[in-house]
Every structure is written in C-alpha cells, then in structure tokens.
Chain A
Amino acid sequence: DTGVSQDPRHKITKRGQNVTFRCDPISEHNRLYWYRQTLGQGPEFLTYFQNEAQLEKSRLLSDRFSAERPKGSFSTLEIQRTEQGDSAMYLCASSLSGLNEQFFGPGTRLTVL
C-alpha cells in the first residue's frame, strides 16, 4: 500500500476522555500535516512536521492537543480531556516537499458524546 493511512477510521468517546490517532505517511515523504475538518467547512491546518521536527502549529491547537513524529515516519495526534467541540474529521497528509501536492489519508472521524 503506497498511500497515506490513518487509524482508527472512526472513534466515539465520552467527554473528558483522551484519544490518540495515528497517521502513516507515504514512506519517502518527509513532510506531514494534520488538519481538522468540520461539516460544511474546508480543512483547517493544525500542525506540520518536516521529518521529526514540528515546524508550525496553528493557534487552533490548544494545550489539550499534542502531536509527535518521533522517528520522522508515522505521527500521532493526541487530544486530552476531549470536549464536544472536538468532534470533527481529523485528516493527515504528507508531501515530498513544501511545494508539492499533499496526499491525504482517509481521515479519522471523532465523535465526542
């Protein structure tokens, strides 16, 4: 499989619980992006990695959100103490360089009850 994969595809959790999502980018891509998308809106940028370095982080990313890419390959996005407003589709993308097209995974749909 040469595409971007994300796990899980769906997550239902209760308010206050922690959740973690995983993204496996295309193997030769050194850039990895996380986005959040809510109904009727385009994706919103959350954060960006070049190899293992987190180079940019949106103001949307509160202290409850953290992302890592420890070995410059897969990445995890953790949300602590989830709130109902966190319910959204979380998309991961990777690219070969900053100018190239980004290849997206299928997303993880989070529902916080």
Chain B
Amino acid sequence: ILNVEQSPQSLHVQEGDSTNFTCSFPSSNFYALHWYRWETAKSPEALFVMTLNGDEKKKGRISATLNTKEGYSYLYIKGSQPEDSATYLCAFRHGGYQLIWGAGTKLIIKP
C-alpha cells in the first residue's frame, strides 16, 4: 500500500515568522509530486508540480524542494501572513493516473 505522510499535522506560526513542513512519499516508481493549498470553503489550489530530483520551485513567498531518492519534499513559507492560513496538501503520483494524497498540514497564522 502506497502511503504519503505529512508532518506536522498542524502548526501555529506567528505572523512574520517563516515556517516549513514535510511530505514523505515512496521513493520507488516516482513520477511527480504535487503541492496544493486548501483554504476553508474554497477549492484546493495547485501550488507546484515537481518531477525532478533536486527540483526547487518558488511562487512568491512559498517555495518547495524535492528529494526523490529519499522520498521527501519540503514546503517553505517565508514571512507568514494571515492569508497563508490553510491546509497544505501534498500528493504523489507513481505512474498511474491517480494521485495519492497526504492528510495535510493545517497552518494557522497568529496575528
């Protein structure tokens, strides 16, 4: 059974602080790793699709790294703002059509 783990499960961060969280996935048969942000009452929003070992992607204050050999990806948020409060989900694709999702990291930014 393929499993995707995210840690921590939830995180409280002071506004202005930087933070990061982890997605662990199987290191074999890797095809792609997706990161999504899901705000309450909204649709999940794609942040990154990562395919290459060592890949680093950036979107504003959010960036992600990928290590396919050891099976992990980090998501970083620099200078957290209240609008960053959301659940951050990663999803692993191993060559089939389906994405296998982690349970998410719920991020709460304290003003």
Contacts and interface: CB of A to CB of B under 8 A. Distances in A.
Interface of A: 3-4, 33, 40-45, 48, 55-56, 58, 91, 93, 98-107
Interface string B69-111: 0000000000000000000010100001111111110000000
A89 to B, nearest CB: 11
Interface of B: 4, 32, 34, 36, 42-46, 49, 51, 89, 91, 96-104
Nearest to B47: A101
Contacts, number: 54
B43 A45 contact: no
A44 B101 contact: yes
A107 B43 CA distance: 7
Contacts of B103: 40-42
B43 A102 contact: no
Contact of A106 (B43, B49, B98): B43
A25 B96 CA distance: 21
A100 B43 contact: no
B42 A99 contact: no
Contacts of B51: 99
B99 A102 contact: yes
Nearest to A99: B32
Contacts of B32: 99
Given A42-B91, A98-B97, A103 B46 contact: yes
A98 B93 CA distance: 10
Given A99-B49, A99-B51, A102-B34, 7 more contacts: A40-B103, A43-B99, A93-B44, A98-B97, A101-B34, A104-B44, A104-B45
A102 B46 contact: yes
Contact of A4 (B43, B89, B104): B43
Contacts of B102: 42
B29 to A, nearest CB: 15
A55 B32 CA distance: 19
**Which 10 residue pairs of A and B lie closest in terms of their CB atoms, listed nearest first?**
A42-B101, A101-B46, A45-B98, A104-B43, A48-B97, A104-B44, A56-B97, A42-B103, A43-B101, A106-B43
